[in-house]
Chain A
Amino acid sequence: MPYALCFLLFMIGVYCAVVKKNMVKIVIGILIMEYAVNMFLIMLGYRAGGVAPVIGRNMNMPEFVNSSVDPLPQALVLTAIVISLGSLALIISICIRTYEKYGTFDITKIRRLKG
């Protein structure tokens, strides 16, 4: 059931990125999609009643092996979050340049190719 709610969030992002006409709204839709995918990947590795994958000083090793959550999706999502910030910077700089050239954020009015 939480998987279905996460997928609903992803589809809200898809709807926003496809239907809306304002450029900033499209960027917001892409951001919502990225948040939804990161949440889904971490939910795949969750163990009910588990502990975080950090070993303490006097910890019982067999009990830790049986009750820790998955560290592999966490490692992959960590880089994905920082990459999403870099791509947001690139998209926003393109939007600023387009606004400066055409005077509007509306994508239906950007039809001419200016040199």
Chain B
Amino acid sequence: MTIFYVLLVFVIIAALVAVETKNLLSAVICIGAVGFGASLLFLFLRAPDIAITQIVVEVLGLVILIRATISRDKTFITGDREFFAVVVSVVIVFVILLAGVHVFQTLPDFGKPAFAVAAESDRLPAPASQKYIKDGLKDTGAANLVASVILDYRAYDTLGEATVLFTSIIGATVIMRRKSRKLLEEPEI
């Protein structure tokens, strides 16, 4: 259990450095450290699918961030801070943090998943995860239960995700398009 706390403290320190530093290159590298710590955390939380996806996606995200921003000759942030705005926002964030910690007392303890609590009690309806674990191999024939959930039981969500990814890539390609001047001048001849 202590490995979770060690990894979480590492991730929080890396996020603080990424937020406060003035050098853009250091901020992007610290985001890489946050993603790497998250991937290790997923491995210890018994989710190997997610760990593979997180580390590869984080590497590609780093390539996109560095390619787009660092080579623009603007690697240092200048300008002064406004002291009053920073103090007010820190106070508001602290108040929301205290309220959130109070809410987390109502969740079940860390280490007992929500569907186990729902399966044992009488007042709550039967959870869906219980059925997926018990009948997953029989209904779909796949040994990987996560693949059977995303491609057989909940395939609509995968269709929605494919649509969202398609649309965002089309949007990014359209924004970065540039017509040359010659193409606009030729029909006048």
Contacts and interface: CB of A to CB of B under 8 A. Distances in A.
Contacts of A32: 15, 18-19, 31, 34
Interface residues of A, number: 77
A55 B138 CA distance: 12
A45 B145 CA distance: 14
B104 A75 contact: no
Given A75-B146, A92-B68, A46 B111 contact: yes
Given A2-B4, A13-B15, A54 B110 contact: no
B126 interface: no
Given A43-B45, A81-B57, A71 B145 contact: yes
Contact of B168 (A21, A24, A78, A87): A87
Interface string A68-84: 11111011111101111
Contacts of A6: 8
A5 B12 contact: yes
B175 A24 contact: no
B89 to A, nearest CB: 5
A55 B137 contact: yes
B61 A7 contact: no
Nearest to A89: B172
Given A19-B85, A83-B165, A71 B129 contact: yes
19 contacts: A1-B5, A12-B16, A18-B89, A32-B18, A32-B31, A38-B50, A47-B46, A65-B134, A69-B46, A71-B133, A71-B145, A71-B146, A79-B158, A81-B54, A86-B165, A86-B169, A89-B168, A96-B68, A97-B176
